[in-house]
Amino acid sequence: MSFGQGGSSQQWDPWKPNSQQPWNGGSAGGSPDWAALADASEARAKRRRLLFIGGGALAAVAIGTAVAVAVVSAGGSDQAGPGTESQLPGVSDLPSATGTVPSFEPTSAPPPLDPKDFVASAQKDKAPLSPDILFPGTQLTMGDTVYKKGPTADTKNCASAAKATLPKVLTDNKCTRLIRVTYSRDGVAVTVGVAVFATEAQATKAKQQADAKSIVKSLSGGGVKDFCVGAVCRSTTNAYGRYAYFTLSGFTSGKDVTEKDKAVFRTGDDLQEFTYRQIRRRGEAQASAAAAG
């Protein structure tokens, strides 16, 4: 190693602090080596750039590692180590993307109108009423049996169309109208009597007070011979709404009815069932009209 004239024995190193820069010519009064100074400045600048680039690369590596860890962790809890829990929030901890869902009070359709309500009192039962409305047509078909329609009658004097104990029952409960109709088939005839009251309570009471001797008068004519006059006949009593209805069935020949005469029982049952359906249909029609209005 050689030493410059008049200089320090320490070699100048641009990367070491306090190192002395050599001078050309070794003269204290000489000019500095501007080329060397420029080279040193360039070297320092280059080193700073290398350090900056290296630091940025390290930061990028660190960020990349963090993202990789997050992605791996998001793959499921099975990526976590034994005895550890995932650091990701659970579903219940995540905020809703749509906010609070509005709630509405439950609604229900109004209950259907009860047909019986419309035939339970004179105040609501306003539809027209007559023998031909209640018992339309000229014949009645029940299952495979056809009954021929005979004479009809309509009176406001209920007691006049009843016999035995029935007139008193109708009068005491203020019957306002009694409609009758007769149907016949193969020598068997049945008269149906429909008693009309102002309220359901009156009709129900009339049904309860009626006994085995409470019968309507048979209605003959129009090809139907007299029946149930001095002979044993079968009778029924029932009620629906403000209507009480009675049947009287027997032979047009005047023969007494016995328990073995199934045709007579069947005729009375068919007409009792048909009468119930007609009164109920009356309520249904009025209920439908009220609902539509």
Q: Work out the average pLDDT over 83-105.
A: 47
* The overall pTM is greater than 0.85: no
The pLDDT value given to residue 48? 60
Q: How is 129-180 classified by DSSP, letter by letter?
A: --HHHHS-SSEEEETTEEEEEEEEEEES-GGGGEEETHHHHHHHTT--EEEE
Selected residue with higher pLDDT from 113 and 157: 157
Q: Cβ neighbours of residue 169 under 8 Å, at least 6 residues apart? A: 206, 209, 210, 214
- pLDDT of residue 221 exceeding 80: yes
pLDDT of residue 284: 95
Q: Which residue has the higher pLDDT, 77 or 242?
A: 242
Instruction: Using the structure block, give the residue that is written with the tokens 């129009």.
Output: 222
pLDDT, residue 139, reads 97
Q: Which residues contact 32 (CB under 8 A, 6 or more apart)?
A: 21, 23, 24
Of residues 246, 230, 229, 227, the one with CA closest to residue 238: 246
Helix (H, G, I), strand (E, B) or coil at 46: helix
Q: Give the mean pLDDT of 155-177.
A: 98
Note the pLDDT of residue 112. Answer: 78
User: What are 247-264's pLDDT values in tens digits?
Assistant: 999 999 999 999 999 999
Residue 275 pLDDT class (50, 70, 90 cuts): very high
Long-range CB pairs of 266-271 (<8 Å, 24+ gap) are 266/145, 267/147, 267/183, 267/185, 267/188, 267/189, 267/190, 268/190, 268/234, 268/235, 268/236, 269/236, 270/140, 270/142, 270/143, 270/145, 270/147, 271/140, 271/147, 271/183, 271/190, 271/192, 271/247
Can you give the pLDDT at residue 90?
A: 45
Query: Which range has highest mean pLDDT (42-46, 56-60, 156-160)?
Result: 156-160
Q: In the predicted model, what is the mean pLDDT of residues 67-75?
A: 41
**Given a cut of 70, is residue 59 above it in pLDDT?**
no
Residue 121 reports pLDDT greater than 80 = yes
The whole-angstrom distance between residue 254's C-alpha and the CA centroid of its chain comes to 59
Q: How distant, in Å, are the alpha carbons of 147, 148, 233 from that of 256?
A: 21, 22, 6
Mean pLDDT over each residue of the chain, to the nearest integer: 79
Q: How far apart are CA 279 and CA 268, in angstroms?
A: 17
Does residue 62 surpass a pLDDT of 70? no
> Distance from CA of residue 231 to its chain's centroid?
58
Is the confidence at residue 79, as pLDDT, over 50? no
Greater pLDDT, 108 or 97: 108
